[in-house]
Amino acid sequence: GAVVSQHPSWVICKSGTSVKIECRSLDFQATTMFWYRQFPKQSLMLMATSNEGSKATYEQGVEKDKFLINHASLTLSTLTVTSAHPEDSSFYICSAATGTVPYEQYFGPGTRLTVT
């Protein structure tokens, strides 16, 4: 099956710094990638939809200037958490869509961000 990777899998950063998380589709091209956020013991919440070569579409309540998303190629999307604060600590998960039959989406393993 298709594989999606995320890097790093775990990161600790200091308050005020920025962190970049990469999401890669390893063996297929993904026209669309999605970024989700999961707080402890809660479900996944969609943050934004990322289409290759265009600006991301953010869900209501998600600050686009704080969570910068870039989808520069068909196999890579990045999420940058700018000026991170402790409340940004969370599990960030990406998924990549094939966009063609059989219209599958594949999830990355997630990135755990801790802001101190």
Partner 1 sequence: AQSVTQLDSHVSVSEGTPVLLRCNYSSSYSPSLFWYVQHPNKGLQLLLKYTSAATLVKGINGFEAEFKKSETSFHLTKPSAHMSDAAEYFCVVTPLNSGNTPLVFGKGTRLSVIA
Binding positions for partner 1, rule: CB under 8 A: 31-32, 34, 41-46, 49, 51, 93, 95, 97-105, 107-110, 112
Of residues 81 and 92, the one with the C-beta less far from partner 1: 92
Q: Smallest distance, Å, CB 88 to partner 1?
A: 18
Judged by beta carbon, residue 44 or residue 76, the one nearer partner 1 is: 44
Beta-strand ranges (E) seen in 29-75 are 32-38, 44-51, 57-58, 67-73
Print the SS3 string covering 84-101.
CCHHHCEEEEEEEECCCC
Residue 2's alpha-carbon distances to 21, 63, 87, 90, 95, in angstroms, are 20, 31, 33, 25, 11
Find the shortest distance in angstroms from Cβ 104 to partner 1: 7
Shortest distance, position 83 Cβ to partner 1, whole Å: 26
Of the two residues 68 and 91, which places its CB atom closer to partner 1 in the complex? Answer: 91
Rounded CA separation 92/21 (Å): 9
- As measured in angstroms, the least distance from the Cβ of 16 to partner 1 is 26
